[in-house]
Amino acid sequence: MKGSKNLFLINYILENQIPIIYAGATMTKQSPIELSSTQQIRRRVMGRCLSCILAAVMLIAVTPAFAGGKATQMWRCELDDDATEEQVIKSAQKWLAAAKKTKGGENLEAYIYFPVAVNNNGDSDMIFVVRAPNFKEWGEFWDGYADSPAAKLDKENQDIITPTDSGLWESIKVKSPTAPKTAGKATQIWRCELDDDASEEQVVKAAEKWLSVAKTMDGGKNLEAYVYFPVAVNDNGDSDLFFVISAPNFKEWGEFWDGYADSPAAKLDEENQDIITPTDSALWESIKVEAAE
């Protein structure tokens, strides 16, 4: 299961000589990868342009693997040394307002993940996440992006932020009988590997069972969970999916985590170890971006 979907897509692209644009580089069958001089010079300073994130991404139109998932684009980004979180948020708000004026972008949502306790994060300073309700709307948005109002913001933001790598995912919200309508702020993300025989349906059902149990714990009643399955992802190592848990605040998350070791949810981890194994994890502060008026 690992990487099979991505390998098929990459082989198809190379065989048909479809150019891929990735962070200032172009890849074809004849030219594996040619880095721009700007990218070589600015490798560490990075931190450029929120909207340039979308102009510098490998995007491939594919059929979602699991019905009902959202098209979710994630970028790991580096910030300029002088950039502030407030600047990043304001730039993202302005970009989202412009993106919503583009056909297919009316229903976009955007989130910024600032690190709180992170391991194995490389040189990235944050994650920028954009979600569309489905792949049709995302594809429609991307087709018209080049000349869109959002694309015109690229140069304005290029001294703030630049993506280091990106991935297009299918995100599936894990259902529970009492799912609250709250925006998560304390967000734990696990990179996971799947057993070769495990199916996406098995993973989703296991996550639903885990969430139902987790909600019975102190601090867990308002938890939300998502499973991110890869669609077109680069530099993802051996990971097969992301498992994402959000709590409305760090107080509730801390209360939940303090009692986790001997909890019913922890016992389910042992039951699921033949299906899924976490490779690393990180705690983030996620902020939902509201479009600027």
* Placement of tokens 């490798």 in the chain: 43
Q: What percent of the chain has pLDDT over 90?
A: 43
Give the lowest-confidence range in 38-52, 230-244, 261-275: 38-52
- Average pLDDT along the chain: 77
Per-residue model confidence (pLDDT) at position 176: 67
Domains of the chain: 46-170 (3.30.70.100), 172-286 (3.30.70.100)
d(CA 206, CA 57): 32
115 φ, ψ (degrees, to nearest 5) = -70, 145
Side by side, which strands form the sheet with 34-35?
20-22, 25-27, 34-35
Per-residue model confidence (pLDDT) at position 119: 76
d(CA 237, CA 241): 11
- β-strands 126-132, 70-79: how paired? antiparallel
Per-residue model confidence (pLDDT) at position 178: 54
Give the tens place of pLDDT for each residue, 76-104: 889 998 999 999 999 999 999 999 999 99
Per-residue model confidence (pLDDT) at position 177: 58
CB of 254 closer than 8 Å to CB of 87 = no
Give the tens place of pLDDT for each residue, 138-185: 999 999 988 888 888 877 887 888 888 889 999 998 876 554 444 447
Q: What is the mean pLDDT of residues 63-77?
A: 74
Give the tens place of pLDDT for each residue, 273-282: 889 998 888 8
Higher pLDDT, 123 or 262: 262
- The pLDDT confidence band at residue 61, using thresholds 50, 70 and 90, is very low
The answer, yes or no, to whether residue 48 has pLDDT greater than 50, is: no
d(CA 230, CA 234): 10
Q: What is the mean pLDDT of residues 28-55?
A: 35
The answer, yes or no, to whether residue 71 has pLDDT greater than 70, is: yes
Beta bridge partners of 72: 131, 169
* Burial class of 146 by CB neighbour count within 10 A (0 to 12, 13 to 18, 19+): exposed
Higher pLDDT, 117 or 73: 73
Q: What is the mean pLDDT of residues 11-33?
A: 36
The answer, yes or no, to whether residue 63 has pLDDT greater than 70, is: no
Q: What is the mean pLDDT of residues 252-271?
A: 91
d(CA 284, CA 145): 29
